[in-house]
Amino acid sequence: MKLDSLAIHAGDRKKAGPFVPVTTPIYSSSSFFYSDMETLDRVFAGEIQGQNYARYNNPTTNALEEQIAALEGGDFALACASGMAAIYLALQAALTDRRRSVVAGPVLYGATIRLLHEMLEPNGIEVHFADPCDPQAFAAAVSEHQPGCILVETVANPMLRVTPLDTVNEIARRHGAVVVVDSTFATPLLARPLELGSDLVVHSLTKYLAGHGDVLGGIVVSREDFRPILQSISRAVGGVLGPFEAYLAMRGVKTFPLRMTRQCANACRVAGWLASHPRIAKVHFPGDPQHPDAAVVRRLFPPNMYGAMVSFEVKDAGKEQIFRLVDSLKMIVPATSLGDVHSMILYPPMSSHREISPKHRQRMGIGENFLRLSVGIEAPEDIIEDLDQALGRS
């Protein structure tokens, strides 16, 4: 099936007694039992499929996991309570029985950087940073540090650099490293990292996949060989996704290809308009023919699909001017997220990268005049009009 059809049908319509529900229902039970103890024992032992305790399995959550695994071309998925829980789970699984060292991209979501520095390093895991968009330097860093795990984002947050995943995966194979990819910005519509040779793919379900601003969740997708360790860590730690959130996420995923296609088209319009505005110093957008990773975009992404994130720098603006600009917006929502049906704007120095030092932010390219825009499915003319009036008032 094509991606559009998989999003609608994968995971759904499982037989439940004499009938089949057209949509997977919410199973809010915390535990399950059978007509005899022998069957329950075999379920606990993994000899037969079944439900026993919601920290281990839940039919609603399992349906969502099957749906996302199908979209990513994976064998197995495990839903978590948040995107950060999914990142942590993937990293722990990747480092099990391997060298306790990570090489990560230098520009990542701020909370991911904090996780590396404040959770992994204090527990004896070495963390090094290298730019995957410079393959020669990245290969040298991997050769020097011999990491057990490589961590990258398909599209880096918020600079929107595009990782050459095929090259990164080849470098990793030469050194026996596991590749973990946060593909939240790209979604399975733009890239399927497992098919390019990556090992574990992470999404924040909160963003494009659920897409309506009403779910907090994350998910890890992988091959069958990572199933035992992922399940073991998840069951021990217990950061599982609840059935209500799984239901909402699964419902959102059914329209994700439609939404994302529209959002990508809108982002192209908005990015082009911003690039011509006299108050904009620079636009960061993978669809720009002058984008530093334009060749990677052409190689890895479908034609005319560049994602729905646009970052831009306002000319001669500081924090005060940026606040005034954002306060002047009438339709675009100034909130800390992305990927919703409505357009959202975020000031990284205040939110996503707040805990990163100003000097570190400057090295990443995030100045005081930097804004990140998640383009929604509204009429593009209305998005542009709102930005235009706000830029004129700030």
Catalytically active residues are: 55, 109, 182, 207
Contact between residue 118 and residue 156 where contact means Cβ atoms under 8 Å apart: no
Provide φ and ψ at 180, rounded to 5°. Answer: -105, 130
Strand-pair category, 370-374 with 344-346: antiparallel
- Residues 6 or more apart whose Cβ sits within 8 Å of residue 232: none
CA angle 248, 79, 72 (to 5 degrees): 90
Contact between residue 335 and residue 293 where contact means Cβ atoms under 8 Å apart: no
Tokens, residue 383: 């998005």
Phi-psi region of 263 (alpha: psi -120 to 50; beta: other; left: phi over 0): alpha
10 Å CB burial of residue 262 (0-12, 13-18, 19+) is middle
Strand-pair category, 309-314 with 280-284: antiparallel
Tokens, residue 103: 């090489």
Strand partners, 201: 181, 221
Tokens, residue 363: 């090295």
- Smallest Cα–Cα separation from 312: which of 300, 326, 302, 301? 326
| Residue 118 burial (CB count, 10 A) | 12
10 Å CB burial of residue 136 (0-12, 13-18, 19+) is exposed
What is the C-alpha separation between 150 and 99, in angstroms, rounded? 11
- Smallest Cα–Cα separation from 293: which of 106, 184, 132? 132
Q: Which residue has the tokens 């978590």?
A: 80
Bond from prior residue into 292 cis (ω within 30 degrees of 0): no
